[in-house]
Amino acid sequence: MRIILLGEPGAGKGTYSAELVKRYGIPQISTGDMLRAAVKAGTALGRQAQEYMKKGELVPDSVVIELIRERIQERDAAKGFILDGFPRTVPQAQSLEKMLESMSIGLSTVLKIEVNKATLLRRLTGRRVCPNCGATYNIDTMKPKKDGICDKCGKELIQRPDDRPETIENRLAVYQKDTAPLIEFYEKKGLLRRVQCEGEYNEVMARIFDSLEKVAKV
């Protein structure tokens, strides 16, 4: 199962990815995590990426694509993978497509997480993260056992600057401009599956799994 997850900031892609990892035994591939790991390991691509990061510049798509190529050749990705956070634009999707074709790999589906704007705003403004271990909570839907304290390590939770109301509208506008065109791109290829992700968590996961099981039977 080779999956791309699409959805606005706050749609729940990270949460749903974790469930898919457990269900299908395939890794979630985050380009941000890959970049940090490559830099830390001092690989050739990591050193190349670090040069751009030192200057405060975006790492070129070509470097990210090569990181993905290396990552999906690792043993744990033999049965598939979940791409979360990439591609973000149509040119990135086209580059990814060419790379996968060169490896004779096809995507199973592109899962579009459907959530209305009011829910997105509530989730984003309610999100709290642990600055120590990275655990994520939500003051409405995933509360810690003790208010404001991480269940895992006991550190005080924080609200990220980009989860504050004044920046959320801009993040959603950027998504619509840059990432939303991917929906049409993958729809034309017959890969897009929309899943309504409003409602109770277990019901949402059941809809996601049902959509993916239909793909597996094709």
Q: Which residues are catalytically annotated?
A: 13, 88, 127, 160, 171
Torsion sign over Cα 149, 33, 19, 92: positive
Q: What is the C-alpha separation between 43 and 71, in angstroms, rounded?
A: 13
Locate the DSSP E strands across the chain: 2-6, 28-30, 81-84, 109-114, 127-129, 136-138, 192-196
Structure tokens at 41: 């390991």
For residue 84, CA distances in Å to 5, 7, 15, 218 come to 5, 9, 11, 23
| CA Rg value for the chain | 18
What are the helix (H) ranges across 76-180? 90-102, 117-126, 165-174
Task: Sort strands 81-84 and 192-196 into parallel, antiparallel or unpaired.
Answer: unpaired
Q: Which of 164, 130, 160, 122 is nearest to 148 (CA)?
A: 130
